Every structure is written in C-alpha cells, then in structure tokens.
Chain A
Amino acid sequence: MAEDNNTKMKCMRCGHEFFGHYEKGVAEERSCPKCGSFSVRPLPEKKKPTG
C-alpha cells in the first residue's frame, strides 16, 4: 500500500488546503484545521507515466 505522510488535503467545506497523512485504502480521521469540518479529501499525487 502506498503511504504518504505529506499528502495534500482539501477541505470540501471551506476549501482550505493543508498536508496530512494518507495511506491508500486506509480510513483515517481527518478534520480541517481551519473550519473543523470532517469533509476532508486527500489529494494524493498521481504517478506520472514512465518511459
């Protein structure tokens, strides 16, 4: 499983962007540090195609 301690997160309520921990397929409690909403979407960077 891909694990990332510095994944970009976006609050779906207030739009605030911050960095947090993310592991693909693993649920983790996340809240927006600005508005406190739990609608936080992880935005992991997509792997660029190689070659």
Chain B
Amino acid sequence: MDVGRHPNITLLTYSEVEDVSGYIGNFKVKMRRKAKYVDESTCNACEECVKVCPVVVPDEFQMGFASRRAIYIPFPQAVPSSYLIDMEACLGNFPIACGKCMDVCDQNSINYDMKDEIIEVEVGTIIVSPGIDMYDPTEHDEYGYTKFENVLTSMEFERLMGPTGPTAGEIIRPSDRKMPRTVGFIQCVGSRSRKKGNPYCSNICCMNTVKETLLLSEYSSDIKSKVFYMDMRTFGKGFEDFLKRSKEHGAIYIRGIPGEIEEDPRTKNLILTIEDTMTGKIEQHEVEMVVLATGITPRVDSEGIRKLLTLTTTSDGFLMEQHPKLKPVEAPTAGVFLSGCAESPKDVRESVQQAGAAAAKAQILMGQGKVKVEAITASVDSEHCTCCGICAKVCPYSAITVDVKNKIPATVTEAACHGCGTCSAECPFDAITMKHFTDKQLLSMVDNYLEEKQKEKIIVFACNWCSYAGADFAGISRLQYPDTCRIIRTMCSGRVDEKFVLRAFELGAPIVLVSGCHYADCTYINANRWAQLRVEKLWNKLERLGIRPERLQLEWIAASEAVKFAKVMKEMEEMRKKVTIEEIKETEKILKQEREKKEAREKKKKKK
C-alpha cells in the first residue's frame, strides 16, 4: 500500500520486461504493460461489474478452491485496487456477445479496445525480485496428492485457513466439508532429495508447518496435529521457542517420513505408514487430512530475466550472486542487485533484510552519480576488426556491440567491461587489446621464462582471483612445491590465448597448465568455460600436429586451496620429468614450421 502511494515510486503492475539494454547507470528497459481493459485511474472497485459477469472460472489465487468472474481483482490486497478482465475467459471481446460489465459501469472504465502498451524507461540500477514457484508434488505418487481429496499442499492449506480464503477462514476438509480432527503434516516434500524434487532445503517449510500447527490449535482445541519430519530446521531468531510452543500446544512431532499413504474409502481418512527413526518401529497413523510441506523452486520465467540481464544460475536454478559472502546482493552484472528468493529460498525476514540491502546498495550508486570504471578493460582496433561477432558472443557482460550484418566493427562499453579478457583471447584477428594484460606483455613473460633451462620449467597460467590467490596462499602457508613452476597471472583463465600456450611449447616448455576459478565460481560469470573449450580445442590441435596433448593441463583451483595448489604443482613436476629432450625438440620443430606456414599465409593474404 505504501509503495503504491509513494511519490517517488512508479508501480507498473501486470507488466512484463521484454528487453534490457545498456549498462550500469544507463539501462534502458522495455516493458509490455498488458491491457487490463479497465481504466484503473477511474475504476473505484465498486464491484457492480462482478455481480453481472456471467463467466465463472477457477480462482488461481484461491488455488482452485473458489471461483472468480472474468472481470476480477487478482487478490484482495492488490495494488492498485481496480479490476481487470481476463480476456481469454471473457465473452465480451470474441464473440461480442456480452458487454454487461460495460453497461453497469458508472465510471465508464471498461474499454474492450484497450491495447498492450510498450513502455521504455531509463534507469540507473535494477533490482531483481522474481518471486518463487511452489513445488508440484504430483510426482510423489506415494502421498496420493492426485488421488485423495484430503491431501493438500501447504499453500492450499494456507488459503483454506486465510480469512480472505474460500471458506473465510473456516477449516474444513474437502471431502465432507467438516472440520478435520487430526491433521498430518509431511515435511520436505520436493526438498532435500536427489531422487524426486530438489536436492536443496527450501528453508521456509519447517517454520511454516510450526506456524500452521499453532494456528490449528488456536482455531480449535479439538484439532490434533502430527508432524512427520526428517529434521526440524529451526535455526532463526526465536524459531526454537516457536517450535517449543507448538509442542506445548499439543502438536506431536514424529521423526519419520511416510513411505506411502492409503485412504479409507468409507471415511476418506488417510492412513500413513512410517518408520519412526527414534524408536525404529513401523507405525501406522490415521489422520483426517494431510498437508504436504512442499518446497519452493525458482520461477519458471526467471530464465528470461537471467538472459536479459546476462546473469548466471547456480546448479539449483536460482540466480547467482557476485560473491556468496562478500557481495550477496550484487549480481555479477554491474548495477544489478538481487532480492527476495532470486538467489536462494528465503523466509520473510531474510527477504526483507536482503531487499533493504539491495535498495541501499542501489541508492549508494545512484547517489554518487558516477562509477569508477575498471582500469583493465578491452579496446578494439577497428581497422583489424572483421565484424565476425565472436567477441560479443563470448563477453559475459554483453559489453561488446558489433553489427555483423552491416559490418560495423565492435565497440566496447567500458562501464560494462569487467576486464576478463575472453574477447581478446577469442578474437581470431588480434583486434582486441586488454589494457595492462596485452598479448605483447603476456608473450614477453612466456619468452622471458623460457629464455634458458626450458626443460626445467613448467608454465602456469593462473587467474588473478582464485588460482593465483591459491598460489599466494600456498606461499604464505609455507607449503612446499617444486621451484620449476613459473606462474603467469592473467585476470581470468578466459584470457589465456591459444597463442600463449603454443608459444610456450614452441620455446621448449615441457608442461603448460591453465588454471582458473572453480567452474561455478568464476569471477567473470562464465569466462572460465571459454577457457575450458579453448583447452579442449588445443588438445585436439596438439594431437593433430603430433604433440602429446597430455602436456597441456587444465585445473580449477580456489583461492583457499593452497594445499591443492601445491599438490597440483607436484603432479605437474612428475609429468615434467617424463617429457624427454627429444620430445621437446620435436615439438619446437613442429610448432616453428606451423608458425612459419601461418605467417606465410597471412603475408599472402595481405598482398592480395
């Protein structure tokens, strides 16, 4: 309500984001404001239209327990409190046969010709709060959700208990409309399981069940609650007291998840068979209603938002934050923040905390009015650029624009570039320079390291944030590892160009290691994946040229993995010892010939 009235907040309800372009401080957001067919500025929600609407459809908000009309308010607390027409259900548009709502509307708010509106706004920062979906327990056949009327999900039960619900808060079971005297709650439905549902804990279900048992006991002392659980996770402030209160009010907690549920066809009561893991006994419990504490899942349409904002997801499908500990509300794309259940399941308290943090972070940026641009960014030499578009494709931040069709060379938006260098490594025409990590600088380091005693050197390309920090940690931890390693720091493993590796081998390096952040932890969203694909290509190329591909190694090492760094270096040393002088000489010869051939080809091309 406060948001709806706030003078500095424009609320665009019933709208969808269609496109986002630009960068921090200069985002352009294109939105489709869907037609409501009711003018919300004049509608006074008098409800006269609802009374005459002949179309009755299931009410989504009431989980199908009640019906609504084709003209409706989606839920009681909706802001703005004005009606909209569900045109797929309405008879007034196609065929034009009804028009009753229009006839009774004193305010003349109904407009069947209203069209979707495209709105474009310019914003400095974006906060993503996509909400959640509830897990669908249909696949849990053993709980009989699709077979037995008296098996409900926690969300359905919540609606049933709510004062604005289909029964105005009266708790009845669906089969006979009578108050249930025993309610069984089954925890972790669709959560913490690798076989069915999701492997993660949904965070909110335990406390939601505790709350529901208390509400039931307050509603009627005749209702008994039985909670079947694996573990009750009551880790928040006051949560343990809440659980204690629930037990004091008579709720029984049984440690065991039912293997199956059967229904008594006469009474429609449900019989749960469980193994109580506290006693080790198989028990049967008869209850009159079952509530499945279903977990939560990322929104189905959050994938669209992910693509629009060039974000990544973790393996559970939630959006990934920039850093789980140090930057939990910042998205990897600068100027984008996450709140609510965008990056993990959260309860109300945590959601409020994160939303406050995201708003504050966005406010700080906008208050400053300017941002510091990274010193290490890419720049394009438009003369060498052939407009192939590879750089734009690999950029994790969509910081590069190139018009492939009209042959307009690539340009880098410096405010959006984070300096991973993947574009520079991928550019087949060497048209991109990474400031402070140029090809010349990095090749000079390779040349320098391999000036003498090449056979005794292992060339290690290490990313700044993880592998190099891991090496540093190994050093300060006084861990022993072979002194044959020569580390070349790049900002990201994505910066390691094919030609750096080939130059190292041509100059006599027995072993080359490319190492970066762990797969899902790349500082530059997904740039390390391009490093992996490049190494895979290089393995094939080396084999084709008659060079043992095992001499090129790949490893993901985190900043905290000093021990692993030392262990990998020892493994590299063992591998180095096995590379013979003859093998190195042969490699040098092959790669020299290859390079000369390439240079001749390029010379010929230039002459043409």
Contacts and interface: CB of A to CB of B under 8 A. Distances in A.
9 contacts: A12-B549, A12-B553, A13-B571, A27-B529, A37-B555, A39-B553, A39-B554, A41-B536, A42-B536
Contacts of A41: 536, 539, 549
Given A12-B539, A13-B571, A41-B539, A27 B532 contact: yes
Q: Give chain A's interface residue range (CB within 8 Å of chain B).
A: 10 to 19
B550 interface: yes
A13 B556 CA distance: 13
Contacts of A25: 533
A13 B530 CA distance: 20
Interface in A1-51: 12-13, 15, 25, 27, 29, 37-39, 41-42
Interface in B181-230: none
Nearest to A35: B571
A42 B553 CA distance: 14
A27 B533 contact: yes
A26 B17 CA distance: 28
A39 B532 CA distance: 9
Given A12-B554, A38-B554, 10 more contacts: A13-B550, A13-B553, A15-B550, A27-B530, A37-B553, A39-B553, A39-B555, A41-B536, A41-B539, A41-B549
Nearest to A42: B536
Contacts, number: 32
The 5 closest A-B pairs by CB, nearest first: A27-B529, A29-B519, A39-B554, A27-B532, A39-B553
Interface string B529-570: 110110010010000000001101111100000000000000
A46 to B, nearest CB: 10
Contacts of A42: 536
Nearest to A27: B529
**Per DSSP, are chain B's interface residues mostly helix, strand or loop, or mixed?**
helix
Contacts of B539: 12, 41
B550 A12 contact: yes
Contact of A38 (B530, B549, B555, B575): B555
A12 B552 contact: yes
A37 B556 CA distance: 9
A3 to B, nearest CB: 16
A42 to B, nearest CB: 7
Nearest to B516: A38
B536 to A, nearest CB: 7
B556 A38 contact: yes
Contacts of B536: 41-42
A30 B85 CA distance: 51
Contacts of B556: 38
A29 B516 CA distance: 13
B575 to A, nearest CB: 8
A39 B512 CA distance: 12
A9 to B, nearest CB: 11
Contacts of A27: 526, 529-530, 532-533
Contacts of B571: 13, 37
Q: Among the interface residues A15, A39, A41, which one has the most CB atoms of the partner chain B within 10 A?
A: A39
Contacts of B526: 27
B547 to A, nearest CB: 13
B152 to A, nearest CB: 38
Contacts of B554: 12, 38-39
Contacts of B555: 37-39
Interface in B490-540: 519-520, 526, 529-530, 532-533, 536, 539
Nearest to A25: B533
Contacts of B533: 25, 27
A29 B531 CA distance: 12
A43 to B, nearest CB: 9
Nearest to A30: B532
A15 B553 CA distance: 12
B565 to A, nearest CB: 13
A38 B535 CA distance: 11
A33 B552 CA distance: 19
A41 B536 CA distance: 6
A27 B519 CA distance: 10
Contacts of B532: 27
A15 B533 CA distance: 20
A16 B532 CA distance: 19
A15 B571 CA distance: 13
Contacts of B529: 27
A13 B520 CA distance: 22
A13 B553 CA distance: 7
Nearest to A11: B550
B230 to A, nearest CB: 29
A39 B571 CA distance: 12
Contacts of A13: 550, 553, 571, 575
Contacts of A12: 539, 549-550, 552-554
A12 B554 CA distance: 9
Contacts of A39: 553-555
A27 B575 CA distance: 26
Nearest to B530: A27
